[in-house]
Amino acid sequence: MLKVSPAKIHFNLQNTPVSEQFDDIYFSNQDGIAESRYVFQQGNNLSQRWRDCRTEHFTIAETGFGTGLNFFTLIEAFRQFRTEYPEAPLKRLFFISFEKYPLNREQLETAHRAYPQFTRLSSELRAHWPLSLAGCYRIHFAETTLDIWLGDIADNLPQLGDYMQNKIDAWFLDGFAPSKNPQMWNHNLYTQMFRYTRPGGTFATFTAASAVRKGLQSAGFQVNKRKGYAQKRECLQGEKPLEANNFEYLSPWYLAQAADLSAKADIALIGGGIASLFSALSLLERGATVTLYCADEQLGLNASGNKQGAFYPQLSDDDIRNIRFYIHAFAYGRQRLEQAIARGIEFEHEFCGVALCGYDPKSALKLDKIAAYRWPEELYIPLDQQHLSAKVGLPLPCGGGFIAQGGWLAPRQFVQNTFAYLESLGLKIKTRQKITALSREKEQWRLTNAQGESFFHRVVILANGHQVHRFPQSAPLPLYPVRGQVSQIPTSQQLLKLKSVLCYDGYLTPADQAQSSHCIGASHVRNCESREFSLQEQQENQHKLQHNLAVDWVNEVDCSDNLARIGIRCAVRDRIPLLGNLPDFQRQIEDYRNIFNLRRRRQEIKAAANYENLYVIAALGSRGLTSAPLLGEILASLIYNEPLPLSEDLLHQLSPNRSWIRKLLKGSAVN
């Protein structure tokens, strides 16, 4: 279900890659760059359309990423456009590409040698090239954003969902020839293309096959023939008529809704932790004016403020949707951390791997179920006792699994230093500002603090952890606080040998960079907001480690210094964050009280009623280091009405109204 079949290729005498699955070349033997420019860029009249564009972003979709040659050639053209027209409204390019059989890094490098002008772009692509697992992966290239969707386009294209209707400006209808790849060139592809294309949007393709022409016409496109490239006699181009502006929402109760940014994007963030951090980063990259309100005297003092925290995906054994979300979040989060390192943001970290221990029969069974997915070894590998001990650097009483790309970082240091970097980009930070009330006044939100002072902003994001639902608008969200105490312990001769993060019914980090201490934790006390030190929880942290991993070296773990840090996490019962528009609970209950029968009778159903320009990012639980980067990027993309880097079914899983919508869809009462 999740694994994607890799490409099988060889190189012909002209050093052009040839697909063994389709017995077809990836691009012209003569000049692939010239072919791409002629067929796709000129066929979609991109140069003129970019000059005429009045929006800040332009979206292109492609069927068949292949070697990425179309993408590289497009970036080159867009950068030339930005150089020639620096004052043009169009600033950002989104490229959505679908690939069923992805090349691996080595194949990409070999294929790209023929085009040394793209060496830097090729290196950037390969650095963040995803594992062969289905879904959407976002990779940033300065002003251009690539969303690479791995897997069958028949499965992935519908996952652009209701939100992307009428939003794609141009299509590169590529892929192998219709005679070689008939499974892709079909009615479903054309109708989905038409659904997602903006009125006046265009397509271009290298083929002139009559079945393709008729299929596109039957879907609603106007289709024209033009001279083909090189020896090809003809190729096709066309557009969606301007009057074709129909919307059909398949899941209107979950419809993500962009902000009204008809005026300047003046955005308020409430909260000073890692959720606010990555939301601010993605918003600032889009040119937003962002003001952050933090109730504490410093940033990163609550759940984001530990000395060391683990960074790895949550590989559940019983919830495939959560697994898929955290795999994508982990891939994107690793990219963001590497960007921070490249920008010179200082924070202690080590991508040393994370070991998961099967310390008792129940946990061993869980890890066996995780291993049964047969993940790529770069993501997860099951190991016996001997080999897991070798990875960890200390003897263990059990086997388990190893996540090689995981590790640890210093959350508080990372949060505070990255916020300092964001200040240099224009972020305004207001500490000691506890926002106690929100009210809508004309086209703005009024934020009132504990002293009765008011601040006005067009868009507001609630990202203040376990206090998110302290406002009347957010009170119906099914959130609860979880107290967590993390113990800091001194190192020892044996503990210094620990080479990776160790997870059992808790976790132990390797020594910090000063080689002086480790972190173990964390306690988990539901519905508790106390931040007072607990001797009992301190002792429990030590006991869990020594009980679950009963080997000699664990006796050197000593919590008696009573050094600890307490944070209050924000959690939700189904263990996946809340993200998106803040729902108007009362209006949704009224609109959807009969939704079960409306669906059964196939009657019209309203789009979800939400508070305008009010958003929430919450319930990151103990996985904020992994999930916050992707959540912040999704939220910024939504606010700016851009493509979202996640499949629709997972976006529905994140929807803040999901708890009551699930009941209403079943015909159950909502309390």
Q: Give the list of residues 6+ apart from residue 185 with CB closer than 8 angstroms, or none.
A: 175, 178, 209, 211, 212, 215
Strands (E), 358-467: 381-383, 400-403, 407-409, 428-430, 435-441, 444-449, 454-457, 459-462
pLDDT at 651: 98
Q: How far is it, in rounded angstroms, from Cα 125 to Cα 141?
A: 8
Between residues 318 and 596, which one has the greater pLDDT?
A: 596
DSSP state of 269: E
pLDDT at 262: 78
pLDDT tens, position by position, 374-433: 999 999 999 999 999 999 999 999 999 999 999 999 999 999 999 999 999 999 999 999
Q: Do the Cβ atoms of 188 and 154 come closer than 8 Å?
A: yes
| Of the listed ranges 2-11, 446-455, 516-525, 579-588, the one predicted with least confidence | 2-11
pLDDT at 29: 58
Over residues 96-105, the mean pLDDT reads 94
Confidence of residue 439 (pLDDT cuts 50, 70, 90): very high
Q: Give the list of residues 6+ apart from residue 601 with CB closer than 8 angstroms, or none.
A: none
Q: Do the Cβ atoms of 518 and 509 come closer than 8 Å?
A: yes
The residue whose two tokens read 């959407």 is 136
pLDDT tens, position by position, 70-82: 999 999 999 999 9
Can you name the residues that pair with 578 across neighbouring β-strands?
618
Q: What domains are defined for the chain?
A: 9-239 (3.40.50.150), 266-302+433-477+580-665 (3.50.50.60), 354-404+480-572 (3.30.9.10)
pLDDT at 608: 95
| Of the listed ranges 26-30, 149-153, 665-669, the one predicted with least confidence | 26-30
pLDDT tens, position by position, 241-281: 999 888 889 999 999 999 999 778 899 999 999 999 999 99
Q: How far is it, in rounded angstroms, from Cα 355 to Cα 389?
A: 9
pLDDT tens, position by position, 216-247: 999 999 999 999 988 888 999 999 999 988 88
Q: Is the pLDDT of residue 23 over 70?
A: no
pLDDT at 176: 72
Total length of the chain: 671
Q: Is the pLDDT of residue 45 over 70?
A: yes
The helix/strand/coil state of 502 is: strand
pLDDT tens, position by position, 146-179: 999 999 999 999 999 999 999 999 999 987 777 7
pLDDT at 300: 83
The proportion of the chain whose per-residue pLDDT surpasses 90, expressed as a percent, equals 84
φ/ψ (deg, to 5) at 464: -100, 45
Confidence of residue 364 (pLDDT cuts 50, 70, 90): very high
Tell me the Ramachandran region of residue 52: left when phi exceeds 0, alpha when psi lies from -120 to 50, beta otherwise: alpha
Can you name the residues that pair with 205 across neighbouring β-strands?
173, 236
Q: Is the pLDDT of residue 492 over 90?
A: yes
Average pLDDT, the chain: 93
Q: Do the Cβ atoms of 258 and 640 come closer than 8 Å?
A: yes
Q: Is the pLDDT of residue 111 over 80?
A: yes
Q: Is the pLDDT of residue 317 over 80?
A: no
> How many CB atoms lie under 10 A from the CB of residue 34?
14
Can you name the residues that pair with 276 across neighbouring β-strands?
none
Q: Is the pLDDT of residue 650 over 80?
A: yes
Q: Is the pLDDT of residue 480 over 70?
A: yes
Q: Is the pLDDT of residue 30 over 80?
A: no
Q: Is the pLDDT of residue 12 over 90?
A: no
| Of the listed ranges 6-15, 48-57, 626-635, the one predicted with least confidence | 6-15
pLDDT at 590: 94
Q: Do the Cβ atoms of 128 and 139 come closer than 8 Å?
A: yes
Over residues 334-344, the mean pLDDT reads 97
pTM: 0.96
Q: Do the Cβ atoms of 427 and 280 come closer than 8 Å?
A: yes
CA 79 remoteness from chain centre: 25
Strands (E), 406-516: 407-409, 428-430, 435-441, 444-449, 454-457, 459-462, 479-490, 501-503, 507-508
CA angle 559, 488, 573 (to 5 degrees): 100
